[in-house]
Chains A and B, each alone.
Chain A
Amino acid sequence: MEAFLREVQEVVKRYPQKRAAILPALYLAEQRFGWLSQEAYEAVAEALNMPKATVKGVATFYSMYRKAPMGRNLIQLCTNVACMVMGAETLLQLLERRYGLRPGGTTEDGRFSLVVMECIGACDRAPAMLVNKDFHPNLNENNIIEILEGYS
């Protein structure tokens, strides 16, 4: 917890007002707690000396924060227009067949969670996904499984 507080204090220095550190502090909390649990919100609120409601109110606006527990690996698959035109829908169907994975869901063994994304800026290499922080472009029905099998 001390380390978390120190990290948040480091971030606060970049801004003229400490409230600005809410977004980066939420990312730090996510790293520490795995997702934005009540405990995580409390930690951020305490570190910034701010009501928990303020912190939570900010977090819920942003889609990329993990507001529920996630599997060990988070698949963020883009299905926006370019990825859709290039075949992202068949990949979604494949993930359901292969892993029983639906958008917003997690596999029973906790290995994967799937989130459908709104444009990840990879339209020239569509369809594309992020797995955790790794970027995987030019997906098709063969290579997507190969890639995912590399994540335990």
Chain B
Amino acid sequence: MERILLKNIDNPESHRLKEYERVGGYSSLRKVLEQMSPQDVIEEVKTSGLRGRGGAGFPTGMKWEFASRDPKFPKYLICNADEGEPGTFKDRPILERNPHLLIEGMVISAYALKAEIGYIYLRGEYPYAKTVLEEAIREAYEAGYLGDNILGRGVRFHLSVHQGAGAYICGEETALIESIEGKRGQPRIKPPFPVNVGAWGMPTVVNNVETLANVPYIVEIGGEEYKKIGSPECPGPKLYSVSCCVKRPGVYELPMGTTLREIIYEHAGGIRDGRQLKAVIPGGISTPVLTPDRIDCPMDFVSLPKYGSMLGSGAVMVLDDSVCMVKVTWRAMRFFEHESCGKCTPCREGTGWLRNILERLEGGMGRPGDIELLQDVAKSIQGKTFCPLGDGAASVVLSFVRNFPEEFEFHIKEKRCMVGEG
């Protein structure tokens, strides 16, 4: 497949405006401002079938339609660049090497939504991306792609970077909005949804980096053509970030719906050091783990649930037979405990208890009944929290215990790991 989102990124100057323009950059924005109404843009995105790439897979055109129909003004457009889901680094090449693609996508989206102010909520862990984005924004202002009179067409859009400070939960859109408003990043209850009551109580669209980066291409070739890429129910290109025990980890831009097997063995070069595949976390640490017999699953929003997991952010974490599943579960739970915002008791307390039990299993002090206890605590979190962080934590434990019970039992009986020296 021709690269769309990562076009030109091998060029060391790809982040510069003149390089982006050289490969056709900002021609979609011109087309939009000269030939299309805001509603035309929304219709085109609806036709394209684009689904949000942040993890939920919600149809982007529909989200825009909801915000656009709300009579309240001003409206806000926020780019979610908080990619904090462990295993995820797919937006990084766009942010660091193709920032103008994101800016162009945002200006077009803002025009469609009649939003005049936008923010890129960038995670604090990406200081280099901040430098690149701010320089790209400066270039875009200077060239008239941002400001009070964009390309002389009387369109207004102002954009700035809002830097997060290490809170994973701020990737959740309502927590992100709280954080932009200058508050602790704790999720709000939904409904109302941000499209109606978002930043400062106004209609707000929060879209992932990769989602917005698809918009210029949709405008360029049209929704009908775009829909031919990828799988019918989830069209378009997808960025898969592949990590851990493969020969060639990295970000791969492939048609949505490429199978896990193809991603792991063809693109990422297969398992390192001649080892055997043991487990795959297909969409970032919060998505349920899959066993090797399930890797013929197409990687899209509708197929993965049929195989017992979720696409999430498309972060494929490949674990080979040298990796202890108890240890991975323990480390994942330390993450959830650390990142739980503390608002909902089941998540705040439950993640700590789960980590505690996993820690004693890992440390050779597991007790009979610990597996059942893990399941019991996990089920007491599931479905009982404001946001999906708690569900993610619970499903990690439940899926690892379900798929690798022998490793957990071995830890209890033998007081050590089934694999490695542990």
Contacts and interface: CB of A to CB of B under 8 A. Distances in A.
A125 B248 CA distance: 10
A26 B179 CA distance: 13
A81 B185 contact: no
Contact of B244 (A19, A23, A86, A122): A86
A84 B124 CA distance: 21
B165 interface: yes
B391 to A, nearest CB: 18
A63 B331 contact: no
Interface of A: 14-17, 19-24, 26-27, 57-58, 61-65, 76, 79-82, 84-86, 117-126, 130, 133, 135
A148 B184 CA distance: 34
Interface string B232-247: 0000000001111100
A64 to B, nearest CB: 3
Interface centre among B164, B243, B285 (most CB of A within 10 A): B243
B242 A133 contact: no
Contacts of B179: 23
Q: How large is the interface on B (under 10, 10 to 19, 20 to 34, 35 or more residues)?
A: 35 or more
B317 interface: yes
Nearest to A16: B200
B86 A124 contact: no
Contacts of B319: 85
Nearest to B84: A119
Contact of B89 (A15, A86, A121): A121
Report, nearest first, the 4 A-B pairs whose CB atoms are least far apart.
A64-B166, A62-B165, A123-B243, A124-B249
Given A16-B117, A84-B328, A118-B86, 14 more contacts: A20-B182, A62-B167, A64-B164, A81-B317, A85-B244, A118-B339, A120-B125, A121-B88, A122-B89, A123-B86, A123-B89, A124-B243, A124-B250, A135-B127
B133 to A, nearest CB: 14
Given A24-B163, A118-B335, A124-B250, A130 B181 contact: no
Contacts of B160: 14
